[in-house]
Amino acid sequence: MTFVTKEKLFSKDFFITYAWLICGCFVFSIGAVMFAEPYGFAPGGTYGLSMVFHNLWGWRTELAALCMDIPLLIIGIVVLGPKFGIKTIVCTFAIPIFMGLIHSIYGYLPLLESTEVLNQLRGLQSQYDLNSAVQMEEFASLMRPMLQEQFLSSVFGGIVYGIGIGMIFKSRATSGGSDIIAMILNKYTHISLGTLVIIVDCTITLSTVLAFGDWRLPMYSWIIVFIEGKVIDLIIEGASVYKTVMIVSGKIDEIKEIILNDLNRGATLITAVGMYNSTNSDIIYTVLTRREMMILRFKIAKVDPKAFINVLDSKEILGNGFKPLIEE
């Protein structure tokens, strides 16, 4: 990957891809400002570490993250070569810009607190100059003990984070940050990239214990990370609505007719040999929706109650009759 985008400039794919990227950066910023930052959560990455700095010393999260992301991007280019596309650079600057705008318009308050708590926090916020790191530190230290919706914010924070990062990944980009640290460590340690990302993010998450002496904070952050990962999978791969079905039966012809005529689906017949008695048998391989699977199961139960059926969740089905291999 080089410093050029793979999409043809100003093509339909170009606009769609960058719409995903910009919207993903905006949604990520909402998750950071309204769900994680006020509580002192640190859900991994440079932004998680920056939130610790924000609550400890009053540093602006977006500026602290940018000050880490830019050197990491440069180090990554020097050590790993030009593997980071222009979209990663756009993402590096878009998130701080969006966070700054949200802070200037909305402030530094959480979203999910009760009206009574939010009114108290607005009154407290009005007493401080939040452009001053010293006053921001004092405001943050007074605000955190007043908050009551840590669990709810960690759940919805994970959902919002996941949607934002999923959209960024959908644009075939990366937000950089701790991912670059993991890539560099991977080059020299040969530990798998996925394992290193988890190690780096968990280390950042655990920093909240050293900063604030509260073991609950990393646990809430882990909730965010867990839910975020599930939502990212959902955004990237889609819901698991298809079932891959393999059927072994002595009444293959009847089942074949059900699939072809009743369900109007295709199937593949695979010749196999049973290991127990070494007899030849046929296996039907087909892909169905959840609804079609339940219909087929019901009909097979009538045709051959002794049939063997193996059902697997299919994350993504590409090809004729399903999602095209090349996205339009």
Q: How far apart, in whole angstroms, are the C-alpha atoms of residue 195 and residue 22?
A: 28
Q: Do 247 and 261 meet the contact criterion of CB atoms below 8 Å apart?
A: no
Please, what sign has the CA dihedral across residues 291, 293, 294, 299?
Answer: positive
Please, what sign has the CA dihedral across residues 275, 281, 286, 292?
Answer: negative
Q: Is residue 225 part of a domain?
A: yes
Mean local confidence (pLDDT), 110-119: 94
pLDDT tens across 267-324, in order?
999 988 877 777 788 899 999 888 888 889 989 999 999 899 999 887 777 776 666 6
Q: Do 116 and 108 meet the contact criterion of CB atoms below 8 Å apart?
A: no
Q: Are residues 84 and 121 located together in one domain of the fold? A: yes
Q: Do 218 and 209 meet the contact criterion of CB atoms below 8 Å apart?
A: yes
Query: Which CATH number is 284's domain given?
Result: 3.30.70.120
Q: Are residues 138 and 214 located together in one domain of the fold? A: yes
Q: Which amino acid is at 30?
A: I
Q: Is residue 5 part of a domain?
A: no
pLDDT tens across 175-188, in order?
777 777 877 787 78
H or E segment and range at residue 142: helix 133-143
Q: Are residues 179 and 55 located together in one domain of the fold? A: yes
Tell me the pLDDT band of 82, cut-offs 50, 70 and 90.
Answer: low
Q: How many CB atoms lie within 10 A of CB 99?
A: 26
Q: Is residue 84 part of a domain?
A: yes
Q: Are residues 199 and 308 located together in one domain of the fold? A: no
Q: Are residues 257 and 232 located together in one domain of the fold? A: no
Q: Is residue 322 part of a domain?
A: no
Q: Name the nearest CA neighbour of 158 among 208, 93, 101, 205.
A: 205
Q: Are residues 185 and 83 located together in one domain of the fold? A: yes
Q: Are residues 219 and 254 located together in one domain of the fold? A: no
pLDDT tens across 150-160, in order?
999 999 999 99
Q: How far apart, in whole angstroms, are the C-alpha atoms of residue 55 and residue 208?
A: 10
Domain boundary among 237, 262, 280: 237
Q: Is residue 321 part of a domain?
A: no
Domain boundary among 192, 216, 237: 237
Q: Are residues 111 and 162 located together in one domain of the fold? A: yes
Q: Are residues 277 and 144 located together in one domain of the fold? A: no
Q: Are residues 229 and 261 located together in one domain of the fold? A: no
Q: Is residue 273 part of a domain?
A: yes
Q: Do 163 and 226 meet the contact criterion of CB atoms below 8 Å apart?
A: no
Q: Which residue range is the domain that position 290 belongs to?
A: 242-314
Q: Name the nearest CA neighbour of 130 among 147, 108, 111, 113.
A: 108
Which residue bears the tokens 């089942």?
255
Domain boundary among 237, 257, 291: 237
Mean local confidence (pLDDT), 140-154: 93
The pLDDT value recorded for residue 3 is 37
Q: How many CB atoms lie within 10 A of CB 24?
A: 25
The pLDDT value recorded for residue 240 is 60
Q: Is residue 324 part of a domain?
A: no
Q: What is the DSSP string of 278-302?
A: --EEEEEEEEEEHHHHHHHHHHHHH
The pLDDT value recorded for residue 6 is 61
Mean local confidence (pLDDT), 190-208: 78
pLDDT tens across 238-270, in order?
666 788 999 999 899 999 999 999 888 889 999
pLDDT, averaged across the chain: 86
Residues near 295 by beta carbon (within 8 Å), at least 6 away in sequence: 262, 263
Q: How far apart, in whole angstroms, are the C-alpha atoms of residue 77 and residue 295?
A: 54
Q: How far apart, in whole angstroms, are the C-alpha atoms of residue 212 and residue 133?
A: 18
Mean local confidence (pLDDT), 194-201: 74
Q: Are residues 256 and 232 located together in one domain of the fold? A: no
pLDDT tens across 220-231, in order?
999 998 898 888
Q: Is residue 133 part of a domain?
A: yes
H or E segment and range at residue 222: helix 216-237
The pLDDT value recorded for residue 60 is 94
Q: Do 268 and 286 meet the contact criterion of CB atoms below 8 Å apart?
A: yes
Q: Are residues 149 and 295 located together in one domain of the fold? A: no
Q: How far apart, in whole angstroms, are the C-alpha atoms of residue 198 and residue 193?
A: 9
Does residue 75 have a pLDDT over 90?
Answer: no
| Domain count of the fold of the chain | 2
